[in-house]
């Protein structure tokens, strides 16, 4: 059990029959009377966000979430198939639980937050190297558009790249923002 005064962003708890991660936390002390804790939680299974107010003495059930290396195998409909690199067990994970899934390449190693043997959240590497499949030719002096053009990557994702990038080149992409970082 964890006291609500010990909540911090990133703390994972079990409440109301679901698994939640604390996103924001605020301790409020009003003139007379007890202190209150206002916290915003994200449901780890559905992605829904809720806000709850607690009295300072309340307790929540904290959970242990293990981070493990997983390998992305292939997409299957609206799910992605991942394999635990230690146990070789395969999991079907909805795309909604995978951050930046459009930048994942088959065989890529990702991190997974595991609870009771099942993945809750999948986090890709911060920067990935992907091949440019298609992009329009860059016209010299065409800087009206800010000096960038759209490029389709091997995974199907579309990112903005500088005018000098050509099809067939391998580029680095930041998975948090979807922005071009540089050539590989």
42 Cβ neighbours under 8 A, 6+ residues apart: 20, 21, 23, 48, 49
CATH of domain 127-183: 2.40.50.140
CATH of 2-62, one of 1.10.3720.10, 1.20.140.10, 1.20.210.10, 2.30.30.30: 2.30.30.30
Model pTM score: 0.74
Query: How would residue 143 be classed by pLDDT, with cut points 50, 70 and 90?
Result: low
The domain locations on the chain are 2-62, 66-123, 127-183
**How far apart are the C-alpha atoms of 149 and 165, rounded to whole Å?**
9
How does pLDDT run across 58-111, given as a tens digit for each residue? 999 988 888 899 999 998 888 999 999 888 999 898 888 888 888 999 999 999
Please tell me the predicted confidence (pLDDT) of residue 164: 85
Domains 2-62 and 66-123 fall in the same CATH topology? no
Q: For 66-123, which CATH class?
A: mainly beta
Please tell me the predicted confidence (pLDDT) of residue 98: 83
How does pLDDT run across 144-158, given as a tens digit for each residue? 556 788 999 998 889
Query: How would residue 140 be classed by pLDDT, with cut points 50, 70 and 90?
Result: low
């Amino acid at each position: 059990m964890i006291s609500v005064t010990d909540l911090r962003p990133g703390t994972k708890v079990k409440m109301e029959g679901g698994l939640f991660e604390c996103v924001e936390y605020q301790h409020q002390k009003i003139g007379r009377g007890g202190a209150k804790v206002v916290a915003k939680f994200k449901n780890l299974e559905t992605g829904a966000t809720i806000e709850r107010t607690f009295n300072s003495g309340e307790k929540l059930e904290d959970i242990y979430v293990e981070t493990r290396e997983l390998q992305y195998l292939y997409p299957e409909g609206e799910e992605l198939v991942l394999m635990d690199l230690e146990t070789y067990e395969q999991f079907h994970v909805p795309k909604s639980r995978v951050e930046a899934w459009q930048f994942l390449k088959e065989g890529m190693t990702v991190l997974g937050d595991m609870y009771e043997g099942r993945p809750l959240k999948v986090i890709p590497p911060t920067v990935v190297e992907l091949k440019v499949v298609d992009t329009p030719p860059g016209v010299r002096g065409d800087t009206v558009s800010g000096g960038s053009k759209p490029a389709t990557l091997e995974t199907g994702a579309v990112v903005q790249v500088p005018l000098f990038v050509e099809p067939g080149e391998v580029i680095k992409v930041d998975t948090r923002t979807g922005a071009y970082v540089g050539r590989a």
